[in-house]
Structure 1
Amino acid sequence: MSGSPSDDEPPPPSIASLGLDPAELYNLKVLQGVSLGAVEGLLSGCALRSLAPGEVLIALGQENRTMHMVLSGRLRVHLESPESEPVASLGAGETVGELSVIDARPASAFVVAAEPTRLLSVEESSFWQLVNASHDFAINLLVLFAQRLRSNNSTVSTNIRLQREYKKNAMIDALTGLYNRRWLDEALPRFVRRYGRGIPPLSLLVLDIDHFKRFNDTYGHPAGDAVIVHVAKCIQKHLRPTDLAARFGGEEFVVILPDADISGAFVAAERLREAVKQSAAVGPTGEVLPQVTVSLGAAQLERGQDGTAILSVADAALYQSKRGGRDRVSIGKAS
């Protein structure tokens, strides 16, 4: 009959001719709800590809014009090199490469086979034919991109939160929970700029535990740590909410007193000194440790001073207290 295919004419291509199990195709997210009959001719013209573990499918910066559908196995995504820590894993049913097909930009990551992997690779021309042939395929792509965008936003949000946590932890003394020297080095110049004109005033205390080395040598480092923690708690308990304390190093602490002149700083220092003297630390095994005392130096920020200068004045006052017999407060004055 006219128009009928001859016996020698090859049959139209089919999925079966590729050796594909239809179940593998139905498992692909981009083909969910897609009538395979409508796209069978396009899919049957695509290439099947097998990857060995460690084989690179896509290289960072490489031009890519192919969407790869994962039929079985698993792929890893690496941002820096195939040997770097993977940032994502793609299993059966997922796809990779379609973004480069759409925006015509080089690949933004390495994609490497994590295990023996079978792929159905869709070249650019077939990709766009699929988009035009199947409304459901196009919708699935939109859903896929939306999910990835949400995932990326979540990852960015998590990374920002982790960075803040890391920064916070980097600024906190692990033993006492007070700020540490690094925080003080960054914060003190900011306070000096804010209060540099002297109105309102800003004062500083430097506090040191008396005879700490002797205490440490006599009762041991765990007991010494307990005393440091105890003094830190006394500082936190007896300061105003606006005051800020940092462990400067070893048994030495620095307290920033915003809106406090030297008279107010002296009162605050005496309050801290008395609080430490009238209390005792509890040792690592629950024993009450011998009481300790502290010496303090106080200084008020003056015009033209920087953070190093006011800290030096307060530190000199601290050593004046040490030379004067310890367990006392001295007021420093700029030379």
Structure 2
Amino acid sequence: MEHISHFKDSGFKVNDIQLFHGLAPQEISAIQRTLDSCQIVSVQAGEIVIDSNSSGACLYVILEGTLAQASNVAKRQLESASIQYFAGECVGEISVLNEETSVATIAAVSESKLLLIDAACMWKMIDESNGVARNLLRLLSFRIRATNAQLRNRQKVGEFYRQLSMVDGLTGLHNRSWLNTQLPGLIEHAHATQTELSIIMVDLDHFKKFNDLHGHIAGDEALQAAAKVINNGLRPSDFAARYGGEEMLIILPNTSRESALAVAERLCERIRNAIIFPDKEKSLPHITASLGLASLRADQDGLSLIACADAALYRAKERGRDQVAL
């Protein structure tokens, strides 16, 4: 920072500063006398004004230019920062009030002129003017609301990406991470409420041969077609996840063995009739699936339940595939 003048010699007026808006004439006169000896400094674009790792009880009033909160002082990041401060605004009020380290790093977006008001001068003005105290409270209230809004937005973004991380990119079904996280809770709830729960393990038949014959792009389309059939065939309360490769797992809460069997047989038929290539000029390779069904027993955990469904799946394969086994 380069000292260029004092406030009394700068040509700036007290009314240029938001913190002193709406004050009585006698309050303005008292503040003018206090500010006359305060320094005005010049900072260059990218220069750090307040460092979050260092203390310094001082209020910085922006007379010209723009400042911004930043984790990086790169010019592009400063210009796109979500929190910026413009001429007439101030920063550093928290460090003045509690003489603690600043909670954020503030840097100059462009070449700026700043009025430096140290803690002693700031407290003097607060003591002498109810208007300054009132405006400072309004500023702090606004900053708190803005910070809370930013935190809520970050939580929403964080939740969005958390949900995104639980979705399989190819099929749009839940992924294995989601399954590992959610299945134990669903089973625990079923045990606690003594309600039924069934799962269906789905495996596309001869999928390696399908890929070798039609190519991996067609293989991806087959997986997507099967996933779409499964999604469209479930209730809103049911869940489907890609278990791995061409295997998918369906969770049916509050569903008996008999009802789950009806669901599995319906899905088996729909997968058999699914169209992979909508282009009528191409041959239409069809896919089939083997499905293994298991229903939750008392004191059974997720791994055991999946093992039962997997064993049923292999029985379906041994019996000729394209069918459901218990």
User: Common fold, TM-score beyond 0.5?
Assistant: yes
Q: Is 1:132–2:124 an aligned residue pair?
A: no
Q: Is 1:33–2:25 an aligned residue pair?
A: no
TM-superposed deviation, 1:109: 2.0
Q: Which residue of 2 aligns with 1:71?
A: 63
**RMSD, matched Cα:** 2.7
Residue 173 of structure 2: which of 178, 182, 191 is its match? 178
Q: Which residue of 1 aligns with 2:9?
A: 18
Conserved in 2, the CA contact under 8 Å of 1:198 and 1:301?
no
AA paired with 2:21?
Answer: Q
Q: Which residue of 2 aligns with 1:62?
A: 54
TM-superposed deviation, 1:198: 9.2
TM-superposed deviation, 1:197: 7.0
| SS at 2:126 equivalent | helix
CA distance in 2, matches of 1:44, 1:87: 33
Q: Where does structure 1 lack aligned partners over 5 or more consecutive residues? A: 1-13
CA distance in 2, matches of 1:307, 1:124: 62
Larger Rg: 1
TM-superposed deviation, 1:298: 0.9
Q: Deviations over 1:48-78 (max 9, x none)?
A: 2222344333222433221111112333323
Conserved in 2, the CA contact under 8 Å of 1:207 and 1:294?
yes
Q: Is 1:320–2:311 an aligned residue pair?
A: no
Distance 1:88 1:209, change over 3 A: same
AA paired with 2:221?
Answer: A
CA distance in 1, matches of 2:192, 2:106: 59
Q: Which residue of 2 aligns with 1:118?
A: 113
- After TM superposition, list the pairs within 5 Å mapping 1:1-335 onto structure 2: 17-22=8-13, 25-34=14-23, 35=25, 36-78=28-70, 88-196=83-191, 199-283=194-278, 289-331=284-326
TM-superposed deviation, 1:173: 1.8
CA distance in 2, matches of 1:136, 1:107: 25
Q: Deviations over 1:144-197 (max 9, x none)?
A: 222212211211111111121111111112222221111111111112222237
Range moving further from structure 2, 33-42 or 250-259: 33-42
CA distance in 2, matches of 1:16, 1:106: 26
**Superposition TM-score, scaled by structure 1 size:** 0.84
| SS at 1:196 equivalent | helix
CA distance in 1, matches of 2:209, 2:15: 76
TM-superposed deviation, 1:207: 0.3
| SS at 1:177 equivalent | coil
Conserved in 2, the CA contact under 8 Å of 1:203 and 1:299?
yes
AA paired with 2:305?
Answer: I
CA distance in 2, matches of 1:284, 1:45: 81
CA distance in 1, matches of 2:273, 2:44: 72
| SS at 1:272 equivalent | helix
Q: Where does structure 2 lack aligned partners over 5 or more consecutive residues? A: none
Distance 1:41 1:288, change over 3 A: farther
Identity %: 34
Q: Which residue of 2 aligns with 1:11?
A: none
